[in-house]
Amino acid sequence: MHEQLFLVLKSTLLVIALPMFILGIISRVRRKPYPPGPTGLPIIGNIAMMGQLTHHGLAKMAKRYGGLFHLKMGMVHIMVVSSPDEAREVLQVQDSVFSNRPASIAISYLTYERADMVFAHYSPFWRKMRKLCVMHLFSRKRAESWQSVRDEVDHIVWALSGRTGCPVNIVDHVFNLTKNVIYRAAFGSKFSEGQDEFIAILQEFSELFGAFNIADFIMFLTWVDPNGLNDRLVKARTALDRFIDPIIDDHAKKKATNNEHVKQDNKVEEDLDVVDELLNFYSEDAKLNKAGSSTEPIKLTKENIKGIIMDMMFGGTETITWAVEWVMTELLRNPEYMKRVQQELFNVVGLTRRVNESDLDKLPFFRCCIKETLRMHPPIPLLLHETAKDAVIGKYYIPKRSRVVINTWVIGRDPNSWSDPDTFKPERFLKEGAPDFKGANFEFIPFGSGRRSCPGMGLALYTLELCAANLLHCFTWELPDGMKPSELNMDETFGLTVSKVSRLIAVPSPRLLCPLS
């Protein structure tokens, strides 16, 4: 009996396992090689180079290994894209394969297992969620968000007018503006008291998102929690639940009451915030990340609602703030361009009023300064994608589930696309055919390109332009204590978003002939 069983097992092995093993070897031999890259050690691969995975470190490696190179971090393949041609391949030609997102253990946990939009894999669920966000949350139709930008710009001008002649930290003011805009868009104006608590939660999330965890690369270590992050993760998510759940419940109650009034024919007209909008798609029997049929409307869970709100907070606050700080820094460093922008503002707006929305399209040189700033200092310098299946780029093989990092910082400074790429020269964008923000020109992709590109670009550019234009129009700016423009520190931080290492301090003095407050 045992002998028979042994024979059956042996022949099964021969018939199934052996051919598979041989096929595996053949396909390995026949498949194309990985892209070039530094040689790694067994098991840990290039993990010792972890500290170099910044936009600057990867740019240095690209000089040596080219526009597409390969690193192996433990068990994870990382493909780094550093040239416009390879970026087009990944974000346009083969975008359906390259549109998943990688997520670390911390990110998966904090986003309720990718219940948000940023970290959801490319899937029918993501498609529906993206449509919902683009149509209902970030669209021009949500006039309330656009109104809050105007209110907050008025507020910043008013606050700075009380500080004329004094050195001010521009980021303090602008961060307040972006935080208020997104917070008000998300929760409405009623919940403004809890902002500080919410910001503390966001800061902890942000640290955990960036925290190094060896288990992300050597997965069998997950159960030992080698970097001791699990307790912090649980605490952070619990804090978020405690903060947002009551706000969502309150909105749900208000919605139920409003529905009652509508039934009784007492029309209730109120601006909807993002929680209200999302509650319209909430369903108690919704299943996380499940799309339903393609024609069925999307059903959201509470986790989806929380995830999308966190996406907006992360996507919309630091990014705009750093961009405003960089544009002000570049103009203070290049006084001849500051003069030219202010002259343009004088010609178009005059000195008797502030800049409003309808002026923005009439300020071509100012817009070039915004573009040039985003070329040199993209607030999100590394786009993070993942492959859904095996792929080939040129003569190289990219295995399924590779992490694909697109270095937009180095692409924006590629000497084959840009002359004198490290110098701030806004006039390069005045030329006919110069790239716009839409992501069709792969040498300039500060908002990404294609399926996973930034859905908040409209709101982002409106806030960035209206804020920067008013700062430049309403005030004359000088560096403090006789500092020379060439002495400005231009060093950059490293992380998911990138800012100046040291804050920009400058002294405003009034420029307009009308009162600012």
Question: Binding site residues, as ranges?
Answer: 454
Residue selected from 125, 442, 444, 447 as contacting ligand HEM according to rule CB under 6 A: 447
Q: Which is nearer to ligand HEM, 62 or 90 (CB)?
A: 90
Q: Which is nearer to ligand HEM, 80 or 312 (CB)?
A: 312
Closest distance to ligand HEM from the beta carbon of 191 (Å): 17
- Three-state secondary structure call for residue 46: coil
Distance of alpha carbon 206 from alpha carbon 203, whole angstroms: 5
Q: What is the 3-state secondary structure (H, E, C) of 208-272?
A: HHHCCCHHHCCHHHHHHCCCCCHHHHHHHHHHHHHHHHHHHHHHHHHHHHHHHHHHCCCCCCCCC
Distance of alpha carbon 482 from alpha carbon 284, whole angstroms: 62
**Contact status: 435 vs ligand HEM (CB under 6 A):** no
**Contact status: 465 vs ligand HEM (CB under 6 A):** no
Distance of alpha carbon 239 from alpha carbon 243, whole angstroms: 6
Distance of alpha carbon 398 from alpha carbon 419, whole angstroms: 32
Residue selected from 460, 469, 498, 506 as contacting ligand HEM according to rule CB under 6 A: 460
User: What are 207's two structure tokens?
Assistant: 């640290």
Residue selected from 107, 168, 369, 380 as contacting ligand HEM according to rule CB under 6 A: 380
Q: Which is nearer to ligand HEM, 65 or 447 (CB)?
A: 447
**Contact status: 332 vs ligand HEM (CB under 6 A):** no
**Contact status: 498 vs ligand HEM (CB under 6 A):** no
**Contact status: 370 vs ligand HEM (CB under 6 A):** no
Q: How far is CA 429 from CA 80, 116, 280, 347, in A?
A: 27, 35, 43, 20
Closest distance to ligand HEM from the beta carbon of 186 (Å): 9
Residues 6 or more apart from 295 whose CB is under 8 A from it? none
Closest distance to ligand HEM from the beta carbon of 91 (Å): 6
CB 359 within 8 A of CB 516: no
Cα-Cα-Cα-Cα dihedral sign, residues 277, 132, 176, 205: positive
Q: What number of CA atoms fall less than 13 Å from residue 510's CA on the CB side?
A: 14
Distance of alpha carbon 462 from alpha carbon 501, whole angstroms: 26
**Contact status: 198 vs ligand HEM (CB under 6 A):** no
Stretch that binds ligand HEM, among 150-158, 271-279, 296-304, 457-465 (CB under 6 A): 457-465
**Contact status: 446 vs ligand HEM (CB under 6 A):** yes
Distance of alpha carbon 370 from alpha carbon 505, whole angstroms: 20
**Contact status: 462 vs ligand HEM (CB under 6 A):** no
**Contact status: 311 vs ligand HEM (CB under 6 A):** yes
Residue selected from 52, 227, 453, 495 as contacting ligand HEM according to rule CB under 6 A: 453
CB 338 within 8 A of CB 511: no
Q: Which is nearer to ligand HEM, 35 or 448 (CB)?
A: 448
**Contact status: 307 vs ligand HEM (CB under 6 A):** no
Distance of alpha carbon 153 from alpha carbon 477, whole angstroms: 17
Distance of alpha carbon 507 from alpha carbon 126, whole angstroms: 46
Residues 6 or more apart from 361 whose CB is under 8 A from it? none
**Contact status: 412 vs ligand HEM (CB under 6 A):** no
Q: Which is nearer to ligand HEM, 121 or 232 (CB)?
A: 121
Q: Which is nearer to ligand HEM, 233 or 454 (CB)?
A: 454
**Contact status: 323 vs ligand HEM (CB under 6 A):** yes
**Contact status: 448 vs ligand HEM (CB under 6 A):** yes
**Contact status: 379 vs ligand HEM (CB under 6 A):** yes
CB 509 within 8 A of CB 358: no
- Three-state secondary structure call for residue 490: coil
Q: What is the DSSP string of 430-464?
A: GSTT---TTS-STT--TT--GGGS-TTHHHHHHHH
User: How many residues at the interface with ligand HEM, by CB under 6 A?
Assistant: 26
Stretch that binds ligand HEM, among 43-51, 102-110, 255-263, 454-462 (CB under 6 A): 454-462
Residue whose structure tokens are 């040189």: 365
Distance of alpha carbon 187 from alpha carbon 182, whole angstroms: 9
Closest CA to 342 of 429, 470, 463: 470
Residue selected from 315, 412, 426, 508 as contacting ligand HEM according to rule CB under 6 A: 315
Residue selected from 236, 455, 466, 471 as contacting ligand HEM according to rule CB under 6 A: 455
Distance of alpha carbon 10 from alpha carbon 121, whole angstroms: 41
**Contact status: 153 vs ligand HEM (CB under 6 A):** no
Q: Which is nearer to ligand HEM, 76 or 498 (CB)?
A: 498
Stretch that binds ligand HEM, among 217-225, 311-319, 386-394, 479-487 (CB under 6 A): 311-319
Residue selected from 54, 82, 148, 319 as contacting ligand HEM according to rule CB under 6 A: 319
CB 156 within 8 A of CB 469: no
Closest distance to ligand HEM from the beta carbon of 202 (Å): 14
Binding residue positions for heme: 454
**Contact status: 94 vs ligand HEM (CB under 6 A):** no
Residue selected from 71, 168, 320, 471 as contacting ligand HEM according to rule CB under 6 A: 320
Closest distance to ligand HEM from the beta carbon of 312 (Å): 4
**Contact status: 84 vs ligand HEM (CB under 6 A):** no
Closest distance to ligand HEM from the beta carbon of 486 (Å): 27
**Contact status: 275 vs ligand HEM (CB under 6 A):** no
- The residue ranges that bind ligand HEM (CB under 6 A) are 117-118, 130, 138, 182, 311-312, 315-316, 319-320, 323, 379-380, 383, 446-448, 452-456, 459-460, 464
